[in-house]
Amino acid sequence: MASKESTKLLRIFKLIQYLDAYPAKSIDKLARLLDVSLATMYRYIPILKEVGYDIEVDDENRYSLKLTSRNLHFEENEKKYITAAIKSNSRDNVITNSILSKLQMTNLLPDPALMGELKHIRQLTILFNAIEYKTPIILINYRTTTEGSAIRNRTVLPIHFDEIKMSVTALELSTNECKIFKYSRIEDLALSNEQMNAKTIVNLPIIDIFGYGGKLDINISLLLTKRAKYILTEEFPAAQAFVTEVKNGSDFLFSFSAFVSGYEGVGRFVCGLLNEIIVTGNDGFKEYLRNKLNSKTILID
C-alpha cells in the first residue's frame, strides 16, 4: 500500500504531465483528473512554481506549462541542418569537431533547462522518504538569517513538510531541538549515516497547526474578527476544524480553540493581527505576548 508521502509525490508527477499536455486545463479539471480537492490543487501549483516550473494561466483561468518548462533538445532534422551549416562554413577543424561532438551528446545528457527542476524533485523525494521512514538527512549549506551565523550543514530528522510555506519542521540532532527550516535556504539534501535512537523516534515532537513541534499540550483560545479568521484558515488550513462562529454582538465573530506545541507559532500569527484578535484564557500565553511586544524596537530614520 502506497504511503501518504509517496502518493503525494506521484500526484505531483502526474500534475506535471497533465499541465504539459494540450489543451490547458482549469483547476476543477485538474482536481478531477488527480482525484483531489480544489484546496489540494491550489497547494500543488505553488510547489511546482517553487521547484522551477513556469506555469501559465490563460484568460479562461486554464493552466499549462510554458514552453520554457519543456524539453529544449534539438530535433534530429535540426541537428543535421546545423551540422551541414558548420561543415560548409567553418575553416577551424578544432572548433568544428568540438561543436559537432557536443551536438551528438545533446540527446544523452539531461536538458540544461530542466536540471534545476530535476534537482528539486530529487530533493523532495529524499525529504518525503526521510519523513516516512524517520531517517536523518543533511541540509547542505543551510543559510540562516541570524546575524553572524555561518552557512553550514545541519543534520536533522525531518518530521513535517509544509506545502504552503515550503518549510521543513525537523529535529536538529546536534541540539535536540525542534526547528523550522525554509526549503529555499537549503542548497541540497543528502542522506545521513547517523543512527537514530529508538527512544528518540518514539518520542518525536508532535507538529501543531502552526508547524511547530512539541508535546501539543498548550491550550490556546482566541476571538477573531472575520478578517483574522480568513487569514488564519488561509495560512493554516488545518485551523478550520477548530474555528466556530459566535454571536456576541461584537466584531469578533469567530472563536478559535486548540492545543499547540508552543507559543512561537501562534504568537507570530497573533502579533501580526493585534487589533483583530482577543486572547482569552492562558495567562502564560498573554505574558509571552507582552514580553514579545515589549522587546520590539522601532527604527526611525
Q: pLDDT tens digits, residue range 249-288? A: 889 999 999 999 999 889 999 998 989 999 998 899 999 9
Which set of grid coordinates corresponds to residue 167?
A: 518549510
- Residue 300: pLDDT band by 50, 70, 90 thresholds? very low
Q: What is the pTM of this model?
A: 0.55
Coil, strand or helix at 111: coil
d(CA 260, CA 218): 5
| 8 vs 127, higher pLDDT | 127
Q: Determine the pLDDT at residue 269.
A: 93
d(CA 10, CA 128): 11
- Please, what is the average pLDDT of the chain? 80
| Domain harbouring 22, CATH code | 1.10.10.10
- Residue 109: pLDDT band by 50, 70, 90 thresholds? very low
Please say if the pLDDT value at position 38 is more than 70. Answer: yes
d(CA 192, CA 53): 29
Residues 198 and 119 in one domain: yes
The string of pLDDT tens digits covering residues 150-194 is 789 999 999 988 877 788 999 999 988 888 899 889 988 999 988
d(CA 48, CA 89): 43
Which positions ≥6 away from 239 have C-beta within 8 Å? 209, 232, 233, 256, 258
Q: Among residues 296, 216, 206, which one has the least CA distance to residue 263? A: 216
Which set of grid coordinates corresponds to residue 262?
A: 508552543
Q: Report the pLDDT averaged over residues 1-7.
A: 55
Residues 83 and 60 in one domain: no
| 160 vs 104, higher pLDDT | 160
**Structural domain harbouring 193:** 115-204
Please say if the pLDDT value at position 110 is more than 60. Answer: no
Residue 244 lies in a domain: yes
Q: Among residues 221, 209, 282, which one has the least CA distance to residue 254? A: 221
Q: Report the pLDDT averaged over residues 79-85.
A: 56
Residue 301 lies in a domain: no
Residue 6 burial by Cβ neighbours in a 10 Å radius (0-12, 13-18, 19+): middle
Residue 110 lies in a domain: no
The string of pLDDT tens digits covering residues 192-214 is 988 777 666 767 888 899 988 88
Q: Determine the pLDDT at residue 74.
A: 52
Q: Among residues 30, 61, 72, 32, which one has the least CA distance to residue 48? A: 30
Q: Determine the pLDDT at residue 267.
A: 92
Residues 242 and 289 in one domain: yes
23 preceded by a cis bond (ω within 30 of 0): yes
Residues 12 and 87 in one domain: no
Residues 120 and 199 in one domain: yes
Residues 134 and 177 in one domain: yes
The count of other CB atoms within 10 Å of the CB of residue 90 is: 14
Residue 249 lies in a domain: yes
User: What's the number of domains the chain is made of?
Assistant: 4
Q: Which of 204, 225, 252 is the last residue of a domain?
A: 204
Helix 112-133, helix 4-20: angle, nearest 10: 160
| 148 vs 269, higher pLDDT | 269
Residues 198 and 123 in one domain: yes
Residues 97 and 120 in one domain: no
Q: Determine the pLDDT at residue 1.
A: 43
The string of pLDDT tens digits covering residues 228-255 is 999 999 888 889 999 999 988 889 999 9
Residue 300 lies in a domain: no
Residues 33 and 86 in one domain: no
Which positions ≥6 away from 214 have C-beta within 8 Å? 178, 205, 206, 208, 260, 261, 262
Residue 258 lies in a domain: yes
d(CA 261, CA 292): 18
d(CA 23, CA 216): 46
Residues 124 and 57 in one domain: no
261 and 213 in contact (C-beta within 8 Å)?
A: yes
Q: Which of 179, 204, 229 is the last residue of a domain?
A: 204
Please say if the pLDDT value at position 119 is more than 50. Answer: yes
Please say if the pLDDT value at position 28 is more than 70. Answer: yes
Lookup result for grid cell 561532438:
101
